[in-house]
Amino acid sequence: MARKHRDVEVITRDTVFQGTFRVDRYRLKHRTFAGGWSEELSREVFERKHAAALLPYDPVRDEVVLIEQFRAGAYAAGRDPWLIECVAGLIEGGETPEDVARRETLEESGLKLLGLERIGGIFASPGAVSEFVDIFLGRVDAAGAGGLHGLDREHEDIRVFACPVHEAIDLLSEGHILVGHTVVALQWLAIHRDDVRQRWT
């Protein structure tokens, strides 16, 4: 059952870092499951804009289009920093998640959307990050999908490739896909693939 904001008492909220992104330190209390209030807590929160992610899917060819790019966070974690993902981007002022899904699909994969369906949404790391990601499945024509894409002004270096759905699921099962929203999108497609193909072909 959803709790209300009145079940949280914010004592102070201070910005402790401001760069491309922001870090705020909260001192707060919250109602407990046992009744009453918690002790005062101090929590740093990485304040990041919300985002939209989209898995491009060609129901005729039964292929998904994935991207690969360098990720500094994965490098800092000691992992392979070139990650396989679906397209995604931050939601700017005045944009809807659907707007961003369309924009990022074109910018990051060079593909035009022929249909759009919302899958759901996730918090990537809600203990410390404010970002919420809306996830979509997008209908595309994957013929000729590939090459290098991305915006120079954002220093994007993105490799685009299409692969059959069963191969993408194998990549996921073998631990080659580690980005949360991409994992969710591929698992959703694995469950709903027959229904989607019936509706989209």
pLDDT tens track for 35-71: 999 999 999 999 989 999 999 999 999 999 999 999 9
- Supply 195's token pair: 């229904």
The CATH-assigned architecture of domain 51-200 is Alpha-Beta Complex (3.90)
Is there a contact between 23 and 17 (Cβ–Cβ < 8 Å)? yes
- Supply 46's token pair: 């990485």
State the catalytic residue, choosing from 154, 156, 167, 174. 154
Active site residue 154: yes
Distance (Å, rounded) from C-alpha 131 to C-alpha 90?
9
Kindly give the pairing relationship between strand 51-58 and strand 132-139.
parallel
Distance (Å, rounded) from C-alpha 91 to C-alpha 37?
35
Q: Where, residue-wise, is CATH 3.90.79.10 in the chain?
A: 51-200
pLDDT band at 150 (very low <50, low <70, confident <90, very high): confident
